[in-house]
């Protein structure tokens, strides 16, 4: 196999793998029981899936500039997906959306109870 064919196969495989991870998160949105597990699935899949797709594009169209842009894009994606998932889950909890009964421990409820007992 020539070098161009190898890079095409590797880049395409990374794109397909990234798309499959994002598709699995879409299935998770339909099947998971509450907003917290759904948020976790989307945050994780977005971070990993998009990162793999960016690497695939860089492999397919390699240049130093694309490599630098890809690195910055992956860092930004990992930071924003993690922070965004956390903020969305916390906002859901604070607006009254309770986790499923199998969620143990419920640290936010324990924290709110402890803070409530300290109030005058």
Gap between the Cα atoms of 119 and 107, Å rounded = 19
Q: Which pLDDT score is estimated for 101? A: 79
Answering whether pTM is above 0.85, one says: no
Pick 19 or 92 by higher pLDDT: 19
Q: Which pLDDT score is estimated for 62? A: 94
User: Cα torsion at 60, 64, 65, 71 (round to 10°)?
Assistant: 80
Those residues whose C-beta lies under 8 Å from the C-beta of residue 51, and which sit 6 or more positions away, are 18, 74, 77, 78
Within the chain, what is the greatest distance between any pair of CA atoms?
A: 75
Q: Which pLDDT score is estimated for 113? A: 67
pLDDT (mean) for 43-52: 91
pLDDT (mean) for 45-72: 95
């Amino acid at each position: 196999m020539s070098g161009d064919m190898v890079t095409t196969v590797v880049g395409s495989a990374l794109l397909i793998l990234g798309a499959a991870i994002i598709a699995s998160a879409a299935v998770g949105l339909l099947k998971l029981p509450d907003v917290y597990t759904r948020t976790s699935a989307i945050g994780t899949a977005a971070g990993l899936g998009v990162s793999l797709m960016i690497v695939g594009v860089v492999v397919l169209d390699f240049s130093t500039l694309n490599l630098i842009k890809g690195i910055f894009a992956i860092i930004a994606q990992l930071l924003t997906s993690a922070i965004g998932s956390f903020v969305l889950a916390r906002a859901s909890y604070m607006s009254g959306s309770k986790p499923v009964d199998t969620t143990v421990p419920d640290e936010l409820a324990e924290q709110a109870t402890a803070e409530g007992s300290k109030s005058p």
